[in-house]
Structure 1
Amino acid sequence: MLNGDALPPVDVIIPVWNRPDDIRVCLEAIGRQTYPRELMNVLVVDNGSTDHTPDVVRGFAWATLLSEPAPGSYSARNAGIRHGTAPYVAFTDSDCIPEPDWLEKGIATLLQHPDAGVAGGDIRLFQSGADADPLVADYERLHALNQQRMTSANGCMTANWLSPRAVLEERGGFDSSLKSTADSELANRIGQSRKVVFAPQAVVQHPARGTRAELFQKERRTMGGRWQKYAEVSMGGWKRKLAIELAARMKRLALSDLDLRRKARIAVVDIKVFQVQLQELRRLGKGGEPSRD
């Protein structure tokens, strides 16, 4: 561990919405952190849960339960930023399981890179549930949850994100009007003047989508966030962009070390994702609201 006398206080911000079992496991993992407990201010922001999620959080005496009624995880994260006071801020998600040295390694990365505005830690997928589809996990490993690729393009996923507080406040936090992709949008803005670095030793375990239906719903939500973010793009422009992305995914799949049979099956999922994106694009073009979940 780093010298305890040199370690800064950290706000750990976790938004949650109707995930009582997940937030319990997440907070148990936070409780096992090697970072000194007295330097961790754990803020769980409930985003309008209608079940017993808040009661679960209250069972962890060292965690502070906040409430943000405005729907959307980015509104909840902004509420956590406003409430916190520590010079550094770490984000993870309620369904994630940080490794015991996650915070220690993440803060070490920021201290080693004083010109960095964001440190994105590694996100490793695990499958949960007897009905989990291994092809969905393969798809997400290849295309979705690659934090190294994200940070190399000045992006970052909030499942594993650390920043100096001053940087977040200077940039005004997350764009809470977006239901999805506001993490990459904020990281892009920060990346215009500060470094976005990868922290490979700061590891968070993230569940893969269990089923294809869950994967496709995630793609609908993400499409809605992108639609909001790039409102100036024409329908034809969107179709070309999605086709180019499909081609890039197919190339990445072809170059992967998976066997031919699995590649063929994942290619089918890739094509279905493309079809789901086009369907959601048409719905949004007719005035539909972006999905929250």
Structure 2
Amino acid sequence: MEASVIIPTYQSWDDLQNCLDCLAVQTIDPGLFEVIAVNNDPNDPVPASFRLPANARILTEAKPGSYAARNRGIAKAQADLLFFTDADCRPDPDYLENGLKIAKDNPEVGRFGGDVVLFPAGDDWTAPELYDSLWGLEQEKWIPKGRAVTANLIVRRSLIDRIGPFNDTVFSGGDMEWNDRATEAGEPILFAEKAKVGHPARTLHEHLLKARRIEGARLRRNARRGFVNYIPPIQKLIPSFKTLVRFLQNPDLSTRRAFDLWGVHYAIRVTKIAEVIRLLWFKRPDQRK
């Protein structure tokens, strides 16, 4: 067994089916890898019509959060090289072949960030989707900072044994926190450009959910600051004119499109303020969907 692919899933059986269908047509022999999908909602059973490849299995993790689900997959994985991706990702046919090759060519490296290519839901990009393509999963830009998103992260088990698994107390940002630990431990990271997965660009609803999850994770990380956390970032109510200028200066964007993207950016800013108030002032629980 050369590779274990670990995929958390939460109420997303259709997406997971598409992801597994992509993994079923990889260019390497299916006997060389296993696929472990981890259902993070025990009350949402596998549909009767679900097609599970022979080298795949589905586990269940009751503790809420994709990082808890990933840790469950790590504990049950058989290979030394772990490929993390998401249920809504679409791995290229040579995704595993290229991931295995870069790992073999660089035995001294313990982690690799594969390329994440965004695609729209329809023929044309909506403003939120285009915003995501400009500000979203820019894996190549994260790598020099020692980070990579779990939509396409390849890790040697020995590295996880050394620095520990993901922080399973957060709903978002756990991939960056884990990579920060690896970087602080002196572990290098390489960009696996040819190990590609496709990822749907986010809708506005998905952008706002992501913003809320990030704020929840930030507040937990900064819990020691006490009452300071209760002060909402009111300055975010002021639109970022620096961001507008950045959009207006983009030669690929019309003026109207630039203002549309600016509106998406502002909606995310306001959502972050609202989430601080909701979590801390009204003591509401974190939201996943």
**TM-score by shorter chain over 0.5:** yes
- Determine whether 1:278 maps to 2:273: yes
1:227 to partner: Cα distance: 1.9
Q: Which shows bigger deviation, 83-92 or 218-227?
A: 218-227
Distance 1:204-1:112 versus aligned 2 partners, 3 A rule = same
Distance 1:282-1:43 versus aligned 2 partners, 3 A rule = same
Distance 2:107 2:72 in 1: 26
SS for the counterpart of 2:151 is helix
Distance 2:151 2:33 in 1: 18
Q: Which shows bigger deviation, 56-65 or 115-124?
A: 56-65
Q: Provide, for residues 44-103 of structure 1, a one-character-per-residue CA deviation record: whole Å limited to 9, x for no partner.
A: 111125345364556322211111111111111001101112110001101110001111
Distance 1:232 1:256 in 2: 40
Quick one: which of 19, 31, 36 aligns to 1:26? 19
Quick one: which of 217, 239, 261 aligns to 2:233? 239
Letter of the 2:268 partner, please give it. Answer: V
Quick one: which of 177, 190, 198 aligns to 2:169? 177
Q: Which shows bigger deviation, 9-18 or 58-67?
A: 58-67
Distance 1:42-1:267 versus aligned 2 partners, 3 A rule = same
Name the counterpart of 1:17. 10
Name the counterpart of 1:229. 221
- Determine whether 1:155 maps to 2:147: yes
- Determine whether 1:205 maps to 2:201: no
1:279 to partner: Cα distance: 0.9
Distance 2:232 2:147 in 1: 20
* Structure 1 stretches lacking a partner, 5+ long: 1-7
* Structure 2 stretches lacking a partner, 5+ long: none
- Determine whether 1:265 maps to 2:260: yes
Distance 1:114-1:67 versus aligned 2 partners, 3 A rule = same
Quick one: which of 112, 117, 140 aligns to 1:119? 112
Q: How high is the TM-score relative to the length of structure 2? A: 0.88
Q: How many residues align?
A: 284
Distance 1:67 1:236 in 2: 36
Q: Which shows bigger deviation, 227-236 or 153-162?
A: 227-236
Distance 2:243 2:42 in 1: 36
Contact (CA 8 Å) 2:244, 2:258: kept in 1 or not? Answer: no
SS for the counterpart of 2:23 is helix
Name the counterpart of 1:37. 30
Distance 1:107-1:255 versus aligned 2 partners, 3 A rule = farther
